[in-house]
Amino acid sequence: MPVYVDTKVCKGCGLCVFYCPKGVLKLSDKRNEKGYSTVEVYRPNNCVGCRLCEINCPDFAIYVENSDIVIRGGGRA
């Protein structure tokens, strides 16, 4: 699944890195315009589309594209 990080709003809190079960993201040495360290996509092919990074980002800086995970009851996540 393609994972996107909006580095303009990312504050580098690391919650996405912590919650990702597959090590897709890592903290970066790069800083954004506001001076915050950011997160970068490190292992994109490991992404399983669980969206835990996106759900736990307090700044809405992460987007997981085409997450077609079917949830119990037949709906889609």
CATH number of 3-64: 3.30.70.20
In the predicted structure, residue 71 carries a pLDDT above the cut 90: no
- At residue 33, what is the residue type? E
The CB density around residue 71, as the number of other CB atoms within 10 Å, is 8
User: What was the pLDDT predicted at 1?
Assistant: 78
Confidence of residue 13 (pLDDT cuts 50, 70, 90): very high
Under 8 Å CB-to-CB from 54, ≥6 apart: which residues? 16, 62, 63, 64
Residue 35's DSSP bridge partners are: none
pLDDT of amino acid 68? 60
